[in-house]
Structure 1
Amino acid sequence: MTGRQGFLVIDRLVRGVSSGGLRMRAGCTLDEVTGLARGMTMKEALHYDPRARYVPLGGAKGGIDCDPRDPAAYGVLVRYLRALRPYVERFWTTGEDLGLTQDLVDRAAAEAGLVSSVQAVFPLLDDEAAARRRLADAFAVEVGGIGLDELAGGCGVAESVLTALDRAGVPHAGTRVAVQGFGTMGGATARFLAAAGLRVVAVADVRGTVACPEGLDVEALLAARDAYGTVDRAALRPGDAELPGDAWLSAEADVLVPAAVSYAVDARNQAAITARWVVEAANMPVLAEAEELLAARGITVLPDVVVNSATNAWWWWTLFGDIGADAEEAFAHIRRAMRALVEQVLDRADEDGTAPRAAAHRLVADRLPEIAERFGCYA
């Protein structure tokens, strides 16, 4: 017995299957995993396209209360997957999330006796062998030394930012961005935004915040990070400053991207934010009371269920055959889909006079009955 706690919450089954990642962090709770599972149901519904091969699944989430840096963490992960093997085999497709990489999940799943962490979806595929080859080929693709699977989500976050800027008539070049978290999602988001001409002025990791008003060298920082997204400070330039961990909140930026832990922005520390947009690359980073206070100050929060949904969607677009194992095809599809989705959400928010999160929830409420009628569900 390890004394560790692990959780699985299945919010909804569609066609008998649910989808949602597995996170590992010290302090992970059942309430947290429940909220994340509900968010996965919404992400799946928001990407429903009756013309696509990919048909959304239900939402689920797994969580383990353990520091991923703990020497015992891998053994805990294997025991968790072994204990939940019947669910992974039939009801729950999962993959990397906070604290875990897909390689680690795959290795632990194999050790736990599983064929794949997404094997529950295999019976829904027209050609399982071809689909599995396509996904494996996609995972083998690298762009600039980073795997396509690690870049897909950040491409979606970046496109969400660019869509918001375009609607507001704000030029990309020189727009300042601060990113909290430099792992898979934060790092990829920073890369795509820098490539679009934005200036990444602050990046926070577990060691603190690194900042430069003229813009950080994102590619150098990406090359200098470890598996947990921590940047080797030896890679910093003379003009790069090392600041406290919470300095990303008050950075002089136009866009703030929390891309690490949940509950990062609360009613107290939101007062430090001066950015015009907060774009939720992480799951549940802004607490509800903080979001209300930000809105009262004219700061728009683009919600996680929209912004970071491309990671999950990319898996299914690839597995079901809407896209192939090609980076440019994947990025083009992600950009089209995310721009259309963000536009829909912001249009609905304008029409209803609500916040983008409420608008996204209303879009979900419109789509879930149609999905249930067409494919059945177990809510």
Structure 2
Amino acid sequence: MTAPLLSLTWTDHVTGRRGFLVVDRLVRGVASGGLRMRPGCTLEEVTGLARGMTVKEALHYDPEARYVPLGGAKGGIDCDPRDPAAYGLLVRYLRAVRPYIEAFWTTGEDLGLTQDLVDRAAAEVGLVSTIQAVYPLLDDEAAARRRLADAFAVEVDGIGMGELVGGCGVAESVLAALDRAGMPYPGTRVAVQGLGTMGGATARFLARAGLTVVAVADVRGTIADPAGLDVDELLAARDAYGTVDRSALRPGLLELPGDAWQATDAEVLVPAAVSYAIGAADQERISARWIVEAANMPVVPEAEALLTARGVTVLPDVVVNSATHAWWWWTLFGDIGPDAQEAFAYTRRSMRALTDLVLARAEADGSTPRAAAHAVAGDRLPLLTERFGSYR
């Protein structure tokens, strides 16, 4: 496996906590990937995430589109985002990596952070934007920045587009897999781990498509109802970190341990929270037919091999959760405008086509969807190198 282009570890002089930045690859001199904050974050984790971003970007390469994918990168900070010291740590981290953001790393929210918080900290350290490195690649920077700002201002039912589009993409991947298998939406049961930005939006779109969400898990445990949960009720009762206020829910719901979502009697499991959520021992409890990786790297490789051996399909993160960052670039480069209907339609078409392509490749190759996704990306990366040159 090729080593990343850049890998660094930063130690905060105030708290002693560590932060990481890994740039896996540059395309046109720029790399893209979010910044996460979670306790226990490691350099190894961030390296895997950066490599995954390279694949996600390549999977969305369309030579006819205005958006041409970038390279892959990722940042991480080892800290609980609820810690009172977290914001100051974020500011100091961004101050330390500011030269990289100005030169070639475009970043944004990831696990544990919101875009508003990242933007506020970035402004405090004097950054124009966390994606300013891409500005020289735009045909009309002012128009592009205005278009993206307008898109972030769009709300649907009181929720911003930036919070919804990723879940729309995850849901479309689920629906594409169900359609290929001839599974009707009504009666298909779903369990979701994590009710933050990605998990909440995914649950919302799947419920509105007619699937039944029977369990959701947050840091306080699993909430379940075999007859189906009221997703809107759950979303209305969650805080900024995706934790649901149990006292705001209707009586009669089951309150189970935090890992009970894995053993839920459901056809689809959606891990949408932390990495490494399903290990080799955990997979023994899973009876679902599909695991859909809305989070980054939630299924460890050994667990995936065991799941595959007994007929469980893992739809990989590099496909499933790629719509969030793609929507930024589709909007910034001008493939779509700042309109909710246009964004959702474009996201659904793109994610449907990508999921179908990967599943068809897996079937043809006799491989897993993850191997097929990497094979498709492997076909496209040389095309990017041929067009723009190599930055490795």
Shorter-chain TM-score bucket reads over 0.9
CA distance in 1 between counterparts of 2:181 and 2:296 reads: 25
What pairs up with 1:301-340 in 2 under 5 angstroms? Answer: 301-340=314-353
What corresponds to 1:228 in structure 2?
241
What corresponds to 1:26 in structure 2?
39
1:165 aligns with 2:178: yes
CA distance in 1 between counterparts of 2:286 and 2:148 reads: 40
Contact 2:237 2:249 in 1 (8 A): no
- The DSSP-based 3-state class of the residue aligned with 1:210 is strand
| 2:80 pairs with one of 67, 71, 77 | 67
What pairs up with 1:200-215 in 2 under 5 angstroms? Answer: 200-215=213-228
1:361 aligns with 2:374: yes
CA distance in 2 between counterparts of 1:192 and 1:87 reads: 36
The aligned amino acid for 1:45 is: A
1:108 aligns with 2:118: no
- The DSSP-based 3-state class of the residue aligned with 2:263 is coil
1:81 aligns with 2:94: yes
| Deviating 4+ runs (over 2 angstroms) | none
1:261 aligns with 2:274: yes
| 1:341 pairs with one of 354, 358, 379 | 354
How far residue 34 of structure 1 moved from its aligned partner, in angstroms, is: 0.1
The aligned amino acid for 2:250 is: R
Deviations 1:338-366 (A, max 9, x none): 00000000010010000000001100110
Unaligned 5+ runs, structure 1: none
CA distance in 2 between counterparts of 1:377 and 1:173 reads: 48
CA distance in 1 between counterparts of 2:360 and 2:257 reads: 38
How far residue 326 of structure 1 moved from its aligned partner, in angstroms, is: 0.6
Contact 2:163 2:197 in 1 (8 A): yes
Deviations 1:120-149 (A, max 9, x none): 000000000000000000001111121100
The aligned amino acid for 1:79 is: R
What corresponds to 2:6 in structure 1?
none
- The DSSP-based 3-state class of the residue aligned with 2:297 is coil
What corresponds to 1:278 in structure 2?
291
The aligned amino acid for 1:6 is: G
- The DSSP-based 3-state class of the residue aligned with 2:21 is strand
CA distance in 2 between counterparts of 1:343 and 1:231 reads: 34
CA distance in 2 between counterparts of 1:70 and 1:50 reads: 44
What corresponds to 1:13 in structure 2?
26
What corresponds to 1:52 in structure 2?
65
| 2:156 pairs with one of 116, 122, 143 | 143
- The DSSP-based 3-state class of the residue aligned with 1:63 is strand
| 2:204 pairs with one of 191, 201, 204 | 191
- The DSSP-based 3-state class of the residue aligned with 2:76 is strand
- The DSSP-based 3-state class of the residue aligned with 2:255 is strand
Percent identical: 80
What corresponds to 2:4 in structure 1?
none
How far residue 235 of structure 1 moved from its aligned partner, in angstroms, is: 2.1
The aligned amino acid for 2:132 is: Q
The aligned amino acid for 1:43 is: K
How far residue 377 of structure 1 moved from its aligned partner, in angstroms, is: 3.0
CA distance in 1 between counterparts of 2:172 and 2:222 reads: 24
CA distance in 2 between counterparts of 1:27 and 1:152 reads: 28
1:246 aligns with 2:255: no
- Normalising by structure 2, we get a TM-score of 0.96
- The DSSP-based 3-state class of the residue aligned with 2:264 is coil
The aligned amino acid for 1:95 is: G
Contact 1:256 1:275 in 2 (8 A): yes
Contact 1:16 1:377 in 2 (8 A): no
CA distance in 1 between counterparts of 2:191 and 2:323 reads: 21
CA distance in 2 between counterparts of 1:26 and 1:177 reads: 28
The aligned amino acid for 1:329 is: E
How far residue 297 of structure 1 moved from its aligned partner, in angstroms, is: 1.1
| 1:130 pairs with one of 126, 129, 143 | 143
Contact 2:54 2:73 in 1 (8 A): yes
What corresponds to 2:304 in structure 1?
291
Unaligned 5+ runs, structure 2: 1-12
Q: Which moved more, 1:220-229 or 1:188-197?
A: 220-229
How far residue 174 of structure 1 moved from its aligned partner, in angstroms, is: 2.0
How far residue 237 of structure 1 moved from its aligned partner, in angstroms, is: 1.6
What corresponds to 1:351 in structure 2?
364
How far residue 224 of structure 1 moved from its aligned partner, in angstroms, is: 1.0
Contact 1:60 1:92 in 2 (8 A): yes
The aligned amino acid for 1:8 is: L
